[in-house]
Amino acid sequence: MRIIFMGTPDFAVGSLQALSDAGHEIVLVLTQPDRPKGRGGALTMSPVKEWAIKHDVPVYQPERIRDPEAMEYLREYESDIGVVAAFGQILPKEVLDMPAHGCVNVHASLLPKYRGAAPIQWAILNGDEETGVTIMQMDVGLDDGDIISQEKIAISPDDTGGSLFDKLSELGGRLLVSTLSDIEKGVAVRTPQDGDKATKVGMIKKDLGKLDLSKSAVVLERYIRGLSPWPGTYTNLGSDTIKIHRAFVLSSNSEVDLSGARPGEILSAKNEYSQLLSAGERDKVILVMTGDGVLAITELQLQGKKRMSAADFLRGHKLGPDTILG
């Protein structure tokens, strides 16, 4: 099939590569304009644009796809179908209707759950046990089009936003190729979404990574995984910002009375809580009291310093019995 592809981040590259490998003709790639990135503010191409340039595919980067000149440009390209994967702009009906078979979207959730931005991260943040990819026929609403195909995967206890992102990118490409085959054969079935079951999620912002240690250890551990690698999670150690890269929830020890501990208090520096860990573990993790349960930090990073294990951190930093994070 002749395809116009619209996408921007790494997630979309999985679908783009799968289409190319399956022999489809990518006649045009649309992606967001180059944006400044890093301390120097140098303009940076999107991963989708990098792929397109490498494979000699024409690239178009409209600031607003709704602008008349953008739609006029698209009319120059005949296509069988449009494929959208995390493009970053809402398509008007005029664009959706241009390809012969309309446009389909590769969405990283089990619609109608998690319509909107960042469904991958929110699945981890909310403690879901499974997620997946949906291929839907696009409509003018936000992720409310008919479902054509859907596939589930389990979320592993150690999945981060990054690892789940990679899994769903690969799954999305594979599911997209099989779905386009059904569309081309005329056997694809479209199922309307149940709007009553729809949930919406917003974009991930940097301040979401600030850990509130009055929340439970279970919730905090999800945030540490779900917001990795970006924006990451952090708290304060005195006047310093400290990033938390890895942690786990410590299994409860009913023999240890935690009732006097405050959220944010570092327990591993106090003798009365030494029974929470074996002797060999005490210099490998940093135990922190939360609003409910104990969080064991295993990897962290002081502002301006390298990422390091808790063991390395403890060799260079003395944490007193009255140290409070946050």
Burial class (CB in 10 A: 0-12, 13-18, 19+), 202: exposed
Strand partners, 234: 210, 243
CA distances from 193 to 120, 138, 176, 197, 270 (A): 20, 12, 19, 8, 54
For residues 65 and 42, the answer to whether their CB atoms sit within 8 Å is no
pLDDT of 129 strictly over 80: yes
Question: Does position 161 have pLDDT exceeding 90, yes or no?
Answer: yes
Tell me the average pLDDT across 277-285.
Answer: 82
HSE (CB half, 13 Å, CA atoms) of 167?
A: 18
Q: What is the pLDDT of residue 47?
A: 97
pTM of the model: 0.94
- Residue 246: name the closest of 275, 273, 222 by CA: 222
Q: Residue 264 and residue 14: Cα distance in Å, rounded? A: 40
The 3-state secondary structure of 99-125 reads CCCCEEEEECCCCCCCEECCHHHHHHH
Compute the distance between CA of residue 142 and CA of residue 197 in angstroms, rounded to an integer.
Answer: 14
What pLDDT does 277 receive?
Answer: 82
Q: How do residues 62-94 score in pLDDT, each as one tens digit?
A: 999 999 999 999 999 999 999 999 999 999 999
The boundaries of every CATH 3.10.25.10 domain in the chain are 207-316
Task: Give residue 41's pLDDT.
Answer: 83
Percent of the chain at pLDDT exceeding 90: 86
pLDDT band at 271 (very low <50, low <70, confident <90, very high): confident
Identify the burial level of 184 via C-beta atoms within 10 angstroms of its C-beta, where 0-12 means exposed, 13-18 middle and 19 or more buried: middle
SS3 for 57? coil
With a cut of 90, say whether residue 111 has pLDDT above it. yes
| Number of H-type helices and E-type strands within the chain | 8, 16
What pLDDT, in 10s, does the model give residues 4-44? 999 999 999 999 999 999 999 999 999 999 999 877 788 99
The pLDDT-based confidence of 283 (bands split at 50, 70, 90) is confident
pLDDT at 115 over 90: yes
pLDDT of residue 103 exceeding 90? yes
Question: pLDDT tier at 256 (50, 70, 90 boundaries)?
Answer: confident
- Residue 286 contacts by C-beta under 8 Å, 6 or more apart in sequence? 266, 268, 296, 297, 300, 310, 313, 314, 319
Please say if the pLDDT value at position 254 is more than 80: no
Strand-pairing partners, residue 43, are 36
CATH code 3.40.50.170 region(s) in the chain: 2-201
Give CATH superfamily name and number for 2-201. Answer: Formyl transferase, N-terminal domain (3.40.50.170)
Question: Which CATH code for domain 207-316?
Answer: 3.10.25.10
Question: pLDDT (tens digit, 9 = 90+) per residue, 210-235?
Answer: 999 999 999 999 999 999 999 999 99
Can you list the positions of beta strands (E) in the chain?
Answer: 2-7, 25-30, 35-37, 42-44, 59-60, 81-85, 103-107, 115-116, 130-137, 147-154, 200-201, 233-237, 240-249, 286-289, 294-302, 308-309
What average pLDDT does the structure give for the chain? 95
C-alpha span between 52 and 58 (Å, rounded): 7
Nearest-angstrom CA–CA distance, 9 and 169: 10
Please state which of the ranges 73-82, 236-245, 289-298, 317-326 shows the lowest mean pLDDT.
317-326
What pLDDT shows up at residue 291? Answer: 96
Q: Rounded to the nearest 10 degrees, what angle do helices 10-21 and 161-185 cross at?
A: 40
pLDDT band, residue 268 (cuts 50/70/90) = confident
